[in-house]
């Protein structure tokens, strides 16, 4: 099944670099969009990453979201397009820029599959989300609408919680490291959450690109052993370090109380945390006929369990 020609946009980003590696590892002819010199400027780390990809066998193709024809030309060289532009406000939030990419794919007319930048909660299920965090889901749905109206073949990837942001810190806000003494528990800590290693997200994502079972469907990443409550995640950490952390509970009311005085990006994140840990939005529904579950489709993927993942923090 290898040798599909894949174009990755945002290839030097948090998920993008993993998608590029997964494409190369799975034997696909991998193209990475390289911004023109004036846009790269002096961002030497990204340039060096692009050059490293080139050494590993990727092909660099110049293009810019401010140059429609360059996007069309890039897209015409491939079978599959994967976009990994950031959609989180504390980094950069560029979801609607994908509308330019949709137009380029539509004009090129050759793409067999487009995977837009999603990789989190399924936005189709988040119409009730709290403001201002609802903007993330609304914008992703705007992109979906454009894709489907343009009749572009697609796969959407709902990867749930990236372990780097939600597992290593035991799901504590404002830190990436596990707490040393006290840990906050949201509500009773018993809502089911789904944690996935980011490299596994990339592996599963790339598996879909020429799989007819995922055509025009949403792929949900629900590796069975990584469906855990926050309490269970904390217990795994406590077992690893051989001691018990002091726990304090945060009610939904107390969690949301400071919302209005926080900066915009934090408000967005707080709303998303609320839906995950108080509402249980990741696992409180059954996957319907419009979706597939990744670990069932691809049982050969040896995904990272969270007790193994947490060992790196000791």
- pLDDT, tens digit (0-9, with 9 covering 90-100), for 195-228: 999 999 999 999 999 999 999 999 999 999 999 9
Point out the residues that are catalytic.
Answer: 140
Q: Is the pLDDT of residue 89 over 60?
A: no
Q: What is the pLDDT of residues 123-156, one digit of tens each?
A: 999 999 999 999 999 999 999 999 999 999 999 9
Q: What are the backbone dihedrals phi and psi of residue 154, each rounded to the nearest 5 degrees, phi first?
A: -140, 165
d(CA 197, CA 202): 9
Helices (H), the chain: 16-25, 37-40, 44-55, 68-75, 98-108, 134-149, 163-166, 198-207, 230-241, 252-256, 264-274, 294-297, 306-310
Burial class (CB in 10 A: 0-12, 13-18, 19+), 181: exposed
d(CA 249, CA 228): 18
Question: How many C-beta neighbours within 10 Å does residue 220 have?
Answer: 23
Tell me what pLDDT residue 87 has: 65
Tell me the pLDDT band of 86, cut-offs 50, 70 and 90: confident
Question: How many C-beta neighbours within 10 Å does residue 8 have?
Answer: 31
User: Cα–Cα distances in Å, from 134 out to 70, 123, 149?
Assistant: 32, 9, 22
DSSP 56: T
Query: At a CB cut-off of 8 Å and minimum separation 6, what does 236 contact?
Result: 228, 306, 307, 310
d(CA 290, CA 261): 40
Q: Is the pLDDT of residue 108 over 60?
A: yes
Question: How many C-beta neighbours within 10 Å does residue 239 have?
Answer: 12
């Amino acid at each position: 099944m290898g040798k599909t020609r894949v174009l990755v946009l945002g290839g030097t980003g948090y998920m993008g670099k993993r998608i590029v590696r997964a494409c190369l590892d799975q034997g696909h002819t991998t193209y990475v969009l390289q911004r023109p010199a004036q846009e790269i400027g002096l961002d030497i780390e990204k340039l060096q990453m692009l050059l490293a990809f080139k050494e590993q066998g990727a092909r660099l193709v110049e293009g810019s979201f401010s140059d429609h024809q360059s996007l069309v030309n890039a897209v015409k060289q491939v079978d599959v397009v994967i976009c990994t532009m950031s959609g989180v406000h504390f980094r950069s939030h560029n979801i609607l820029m994908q509308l330019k990419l949709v137009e380029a794919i539509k004009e090129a007319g050759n793409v067999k599959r487009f995977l837009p930048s999603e990789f989190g909660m399924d936005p189709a299920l988040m119409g009730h989300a709290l403001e201002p965090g609802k903007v993330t889901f609304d914008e992703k749905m705007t992109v979906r609408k454009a894709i489907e109206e343009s009749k572009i073949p697609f796969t959407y990837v709902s990867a749930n919680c990236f372990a780097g942001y939600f597992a290593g810190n035991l799901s504590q806000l404002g830190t990436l490291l596990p707490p040393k003494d006290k840990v906050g528990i949201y509500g009773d800590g018993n809502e089911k959450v789904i944690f996935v290693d980011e490299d596994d997200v990339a592996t599963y994502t790339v598996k879909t690109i020429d799989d007819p079972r995922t055509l025009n469907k949403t792929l949900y990443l629900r590796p069975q052993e990584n469906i855990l409550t926050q309490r269970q995640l904390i217990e795994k950490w406590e077992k690893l370090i051989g001691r018990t952390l002091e726990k304090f509970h945060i009610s939904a009311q107390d969690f949301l109380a400071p919302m209005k005085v926080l900066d915009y990006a934090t408000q967005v994140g707080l709303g998303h945390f609320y839906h995950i840990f108080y509402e249980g939005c990741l696992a409180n529904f059954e996957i319907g006929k419009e979706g597939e579950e990744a670990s069932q489709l691809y049982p050969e993927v040896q995904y990272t369990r969270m007790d193994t993942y947490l060992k790196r923090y000791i």
